[in-house]
Structure formats: structure tokens, C-alpha cells
Amino acid sequence: MDVQLSGPLRAAVGNQATITVDARTIRELFRKLSEQYPDFKPLLANGVAVAINGNVYRDDWSTTIPENAEVVLLPRIQGG
């Protein structure tokens, strides 16, 4: 599947806006990205949110990613 990256996350994957990764859960996605791109792993400490078909998941890495889903990685941000 295609994973879109936005904002400062692009820098961690060699400034690509879209990368192809096969993953069925957020955990698997993050594991594979960390293996492929060493700069990605430290970003996880500050948090990376995943939008799957428009729903933003910030924390639960067990969330499953349906086939052909739209996947967008976003910075994990804070509210007031």
C-alpha cells in the first residue's frame, strides 16, 4: 500500500511524500518503516499519528489497516 507522509516526517524518509509499505497494523507499519529508514525510529518517541481512511489514530498501534486504505502519517500534536 501507499503511505503518504506529511510535514516534518518526510525528512526522515529521504524527503519522499509517498512510500510503499505492506503492513496490516500500525505496529507492523512502524516496524517496517523503522527498519527501512533509521531516521524514522526516533520520531516515534515524539509520536506519529496515522490517519487511516480519514480517521486519525494517535496511540493504538494494534489498529488494523484495511486493504486499499488511505494511509497518511502525521505529526502527533497536542491540544489545549
Can you tell me which of 1, 21, 44, 51 binds other proteins, judged by CB under 8 A? 51
Asked if 38 interacts with other proteins (CB under 8 A), we say no
CA distance linking residue 23 with residue 71, whole number of Å: 11
Residue 59 neighbours by CB under 8 Å, 6+ apart = none
Question: Which listed residue (2, 36, 53, 64) binds other proteins by CB under 8 A?
Answer: 53
Distance of alpha carbon 72 from alpha carbon 3, whole angstroms: 6
- Give the footprint of other proteins on this chain (CB under 8 A): 4, 6-8, 10-11, 15, 46, 51, 53-60, 63, 70, 72, 74-75, 77-80
